[in-house]
C-alpha cells in the first residue's frame, strides 16, 4: 500500500516482514527514509516528522555539533 494513495483516516495496515504487527501509519518506504535520516545525524542531532492530513508529509534532519569540542575538520563545509 502506498501511503500517498492512502485515504485520509484510513486504518488499513501494511504487513512488513519481520514485524509482529502490521503497520497502520508508516509504509516500509517511510520507515527506510526515517532510518536513513536518523543515521545521518551522527552523534548528536534531531529528526523532525511533519504529519499533514493524517499522513507523513515532511521529514527533516539536523546535524548538531558540540561547540566546545568542535574541530574545523569536523564540519561538512568546504574551506
Classify residue 61 by burial, with Cβ atoms within 10 Å: 0-12, 13-18, 19+.
middle
Residue 59 confidence (pLDDT): 95
More confident residue, 43 or 10: 43
Residue 68 confidence (pLDDT): 82
Whether pLDDT at 22 is above 90: no
Taking the C-alpha atoms of residue 1 and residue 35, their distance in angstroms, rounded to an integer, is 19
Which of 50, 54, 57, 52 is closest to 24 using CA atoms? Answer: 54
Taking the C-alpha atoms of residue 52 and residue 13, their distance in angstroms, rounded to an integer, is 19
For the ranges 17-21, 23-27, 28-32, the lowest mean pLDDT is seen at 17-21
What residues does each domain of the chain span?
A: 22-62
pTM for the model: 0.64
SS3 of 43-61: CCEEEEEEEECCEEEEEEE
Amino acid at each position: 500500500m502506498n501511503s500517498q494513495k492512502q485515504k485520509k483516516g484510513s486504518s488499513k495496515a501494511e504487513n512488513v516482514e519481520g514485524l509482529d504487527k502490521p503497520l497502520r501509519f508508516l509504509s516500509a518506504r517511510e520507515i527506510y527514509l526515517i532510518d536513513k535520516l536518523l543515521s545521518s545525524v551522527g552523534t548528536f542531532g534531531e529528526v523532525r516528522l511533519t504529519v499533514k492530513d493524517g499522513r507523513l508529509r515532511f521529514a527533516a534532519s539536523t546535524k548538531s555539533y558540540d561547540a566546545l569540542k568542535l574541530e574545523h575538520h569536523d564540519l561538512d563545509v568546504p574551506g
